[in-house]
Amino acid sequence: MVLAIDIGNSNVVVALHDGNSWSQVWRIPTITEAEAALFYEKRLSDLLMEAGVLLGPRPRVVVSSVVPQLTPSFLRLAEHLFGQPALKVAPPIYPKLKLQIDRPNEIGTDLLANAVAAHHLYQQDCIIVDFGTALTFTTVTGEGHILGVAIAPGLKTAIASLFQKTAQLPEVPLTLPETPIGKNTEHAIQSGILIGYVGLVRHMLAEIRREVGEQYIAVATGGLSSILTPLQADFNHIDPMLTLEGLRIIAETQRSE
């Protein structure tokens, strides 16, 4: 049994894998205020108690974080709840994985988890597109070599930036409009960002393949991977659980050694 904790900029995803499937998945908003440690201790303890996790066999806990100020709190919390250290996904364990990392300190642990999962699941050259707080493109060879990453603002980040940096533009829902010609302000923003991002993703996939080869399959993941429906045919696989699968594989790989 594996308990995966993926600490992202927008959400903390906590998920339990019972050996067959992800039986529980919780999303908790990411906060970094002074009371964050107490908030997460109470929230996570309640969720795990309600699910019976604290009463059964101890799971293997694996933690990935792109929010450094929260990492120590979750490591302490995991050890307090289960009486054993959690596995922190970090550069020291990378050489033990079937991936070649040129600059280990530069790659986010969520992107590493994506690469681990894609490499184990598909064993093919692939481009992983993660629709999260950031929109990322990670290029991985069939041998498990991460060639590089491209990063753009995510959908929510782009919309929030317009809302925060302009005086008259509102924050709008992530709904794909039927036409690119906006009839009102909300429609105009949805068109520019959501329809615009369809073109961004297609162009990036084309440019990456132009450099590395047309054989690279495209894999989509992330909480927002289902919003841009016109892109569904552009992906060979759409797997919102890819990051969690990577964390599970890492945890199981490290346990077996």
Is residue 200 helix, strand or coil?
helix
- Is 110 considered catalytic here? yes
- Rounded Cα distance between 174 and 166, Å, is 18
- Rounded Cα distance between 225 and 107, Å, is 21
> Which of 6, 46, 102, 110 is the catalytic position?
110
Q: Are 72 and 53 in contact (CB under 8 A)?
A: no
The angle, 0 to 180 degrees and rounded to 10, between the axes of the packed helices 71-82 and 36-50 is 40
Q: Are 250 and 60 in contact (CB under 8 A)?
A: no
Is residue 212 helix, strand or coil?
helix
Long-range contact set of residues 79-83: C-beta below 8 Å, sequence gap at least 24: 80/41, 81/44, 81/45, 81/48, 81/54, 82/3, 82/58, 83/58
Strand 22-29 to 126-131 pairing: unpaired
Place of tokens 């991977």: 225
16: part of which helix (H) or strand (E)?
A: strand 11-17
- Which residues are marked as active site? 110
